[in-house]
Structure 1
Amino acid sequence: MNNIVVSWIGNKIKSLRNQKNLSLNELSNQSKISKSLLSKIENSRTIPSLPVFINILESLEVAPKDFFEDMYLKNGHNFTVVKKEDRKTIEKEDRVGFKYHSIINQSLLNLNVDIVHLTVEPHAKYEPTSTDGYEFKIVLSGKIEYIIGEESTLLQEGDSIFFDARIPHYPKAAEERVQLLVIYFLFP
């Protein structure tokens, strides 16, 4: 991994910790991460795994998108615009009644971030699937039941879900078309 990126992450975590007036020990206790590992991360001697990173961000009360807001993307800007008409239809998982439209696919901090707009047609066929990473989904319109492992939850417009995608999961199609924004955080 690029040393500049590792250094940027460590410095950003340290800066946020200081802004919140937290000692290294306090952040360690809140995030349930050893003080020694936090020190290594802040001093750019190691890069955190995704679960460790998420724990740190939750303890600092910072959303991942806010953490990275001032990091430049590959295009040299700190933003990427994708017009609706420029989205590409992609085939994924060979599911009948599911239409995926790619929004962004960006490698970021040793993770691949893939953002798609998903339409689930009424009575779509589904099979449990798993992915090597994490998923974030927000319902843009409609409502859908989502099964993760043995658990089930009903998601309605505006609801979101974030989960470990290595656990078998699937949506149960509803009586209506459902639109979702899906963000995959995939391990390379």
Structure 2
Amino acid sequence: MSGFDVGNRLKQLRLSRELSQRELAKRAGVTNSTISLIEQNSVSPSVSSLKKILDAMPVSISEFFAGEIESHDQVFYPSSELTEIGDGTLSWKLVGARRPNRSMSIIHEHYPPGADTGEEMLEHDGEEGGVVVAGTIELQVADEVQQLKAGDAYYFDSRLPHRFRNAGDSECVIVSANTPPSFSDGGDEQHHV
């Protein structure tokens, strides 16, 4: 994750909440070694795994990537200043991650062939929508599954379980937005086991 120390940030947040690796692992429903390996940057967590761990603290994804840095109300963001929040396979670049009091998230998403948000479907408060810019993506929302191609769009209630998967043989690029500006504001969500 270019330029962002996921392991150190997770450790910093865990220690600030006075949680042991064991306690955080128990709350998140993952193994102790998972927390340890992430904190050592030995593995990159999937988006759904990271979200599950952060929900257990609770910390939102946007708060996690914003870090402690406050910024002015910047208007323009060169691509080099977008914050990578993907999992090392799929790339999600967040616009204005450090902007104080953001009320939405805008994400430039890149899914290489075979990329998948995971068998554990995502669920979080809010709404999200996006437009496929290039390639194709399989989007499942609850029981509905649709193949979307460049120019197609989506908009749904994020509390419905959802999953994105690139079953094609070329990269898929999506520009999306969601509100509120995170996957979750707390740890009240039910996860698939």
User: TM-score, normalising length from structure 1?
Assistant: 0.50
User: Aligned ranges for residues 65-84 of structure 1 at < 5 Å?
Assistant: 75=73, 80-84=75-79
What do residues 13-49 of structure 1 show as CA deviations (whole Å, max 9, x unaligned)?
xxxxxxxxxxxxxxxxxxxxxxxxxxxxxxxxxxxxx
2:126 to 96, 117, 133: 133
CA distance in 2: counterparts of 1:180 and 1:186, whole angstroms: 19
Q: State the distance in 1 between where 2:151 and 2:125 align.
A: 26
Q: Which runs of 5+ in 2 are unaligned?
A: 1-71, 186-193
Is 1:102–2:102 an aligned residue pair?
no
Structure with greater Cα Rg: 1
Q: How much has 1:172 moved relative to structure 2?
A: 2.1
Number of corresponding residues = 106
Shift in Å, 1:83: 1.3
What residue in structure 1 maps to residue 153 of structure 2?
A: 160
The Cα RMSD (Å) is: 2.2
Following superposition, the deviation at residue 124 of structure 1 comes to 1.5
1:178, distance to aligned residue in structure 2 (A): 0.4
* 2:109 aligned partner: 118
Spell out, residue by residue over 1:134-172, the C-alpha distance to the aligned partner (whole angstroms, 9 max, x if none).
Answer: 111111100111100000122111111111011000112
The alignment's TM-score, normalised by the length of structure 2, stands at 0.49
Residue 139 of structure 2: aligned partner: 146
Which residue type is aligned with residue 172 of structure 2?
Answer: V
| 4+ long deviations beyond 4 Å | none
- List gaps (5 residues or longer) in structure 1: 1-73
Contact residue 122 and residue 173 of structure 1 kept, 8 A: yes
Secondary structure of 2:96's match? strand
Instruction: Quote how far apart the aligned CAs of 1:114 are.
Output: 0.8
SS in 1 for 2:107: strand
Higher relative strand content: 1
Aligned: 1:183 with 2:174: no
1:174 deviation in Å?
Answer: 2.2
How far, CA to CA, are the matches of 1:114 and 1:129 in structure 2? 16
Higher RCO by CA contacts (8 Å cutoff, separation 6 or greater): 2
Shift of 1:104: 2.9
Q: Does 1:86 align with 2:78?
A: no
Q: Secondary structure at the match of 2:80?
A: helix
